[in-house]
Amino acid sequence: MSAVPHLFQPVTFRSVTARNRITVSPMCQYSAEDGLGNDWHIQNLGAKAAGGAGIVFTEATHVSAIGRITPGCLGLWNDAQEAFLARLAALISRLGAVPGIQIAHAGRKASVTPPWEGNKPIPHAAGGWTPLAPSAIPFGEGYTIPEALRPGQIAEIVGQFAATARLARRAGFKIAEIHAAHGYLLHSFLSPLANHRDDSYGGDLAGRSRALMEVIDAVRGEWPAELPLFVRLSCTDWVEGGFTLEEAVMLAKRLKARGDVDLIDCSSGGASPAQRIPSLHPGYQVPFAERIRHEAGIATGAVGLIRDPFHAEEILGNGRADLVFLARALLADPAWPQRAARSLGLTPELPPQYQRAHLA
């Protein structure tokens, strides 16, 4: 190809430029201890940075102990966690990628076992805790009934998001993403399936999005104006009566108008076990990114079983999204970006230690 493929064109958000548009999506590893990461996290994300991705996100990094999904989830609320994540951010940067951190609170989906143990609720007697949510509605049958948050508790959690953003800035991360998807706390405020409040945090979309807006304000208070801020949304709940794509577009327009959010990471689902996705196929969520990009005029990230380099190139080349977020493809092959470069007619850039791989 005579021109550089869109997938490998640099992209800039505020003062931050990534070498390409391949983004390592946040992927929970359930391997931390008391929120503190270890060598697993270093090798996992280090390999993906060395593999050539442009932006490398941490897994969901939680703002408090009771905000974790599982006891093995990563957190950032103390100095030891900050020191570890500073090491991780420095490694990602040294390998040529932009370090990003996803800031999260699990809400009513907290206090469960990891996927390989069934995502089962953990009873208090076994070390579990009571989840927090906008309303006292459990995620599904057999799940712990969450505590409905009082306004003062919401304010406390907003402050925890801000504190985590402050620690993330000090640790050297260059992009922050607020997790408001997949049924976790901020998504559960957005979704009518989980939010039955009759105060200013419930009701219409303005009320249901109030918690998210307060978190954005608080995070921006700690996150420098020259650094980009992303928001991950579930653009539909895939359940009748849940959060809809039309509401996601309305919310994205509001975020665009505010001017403090730079990109919407467009995912879906996670609010209810009753969700029904009509067809799971490569790119099944790309239309969400495309519609929000064109109707709200804000940059978007496309996700959802994107595995083929030519498919990723089509998404970007046709203006359907600004970034592609990859998960399973990069779990299977951290060097996917290098292989994609070859497929698209480029000579991949490799760390000098890996130069002999050009012959592979």
Instruction: Return the domain boundaries, the chain.
Output: 9-349
Q: Give me the pLDDT at residue 358, please.
A: 67
Task: Find the catalytic residue in 143, 184, 201, 354.
Answer: 184
| Residue 8: HSE in the Cβ half-sphere, 13 Å Cα cutoff | 22
Q: Give me the pLDDT at residue 264, please.
A: 98
Cβ atoms of 181 and 124 within 8 Å: the answer is: no
What CA–CA distance (Å, rounded) separates 73 from 34? 8
Q: Distance of CA 278 to CAs 110, 160, 239, Å?
A: 27, 37, 11
Q: Give me the pLDDT at residue 354, please.
A: 84
What CA–CA distance (Å, rounded) separates 350 from 359? 12
Taking the alpha carbons at both ends of the chain, their separation in whole angstroms is 21
Cβ atoms of 178 and 186 within 8 Å: the answer is: yes
Q: Is 184 a catalytic residue?
A: yes
In the chain (360 residues long), the average pLDDT of successive 10-residue segments reads: 86 98 98 98 98 98 98 98 98 98 98 96 96 97 96 98 98 98 98 98 98 98 98 98 98 98 98 94 97 98 97 98 97 96 90 74
Closest alpha carbon to 11 in 21, 3, 1: 21
Architecture of domain 9-349: Alpha-Beta Barrel (3.20)
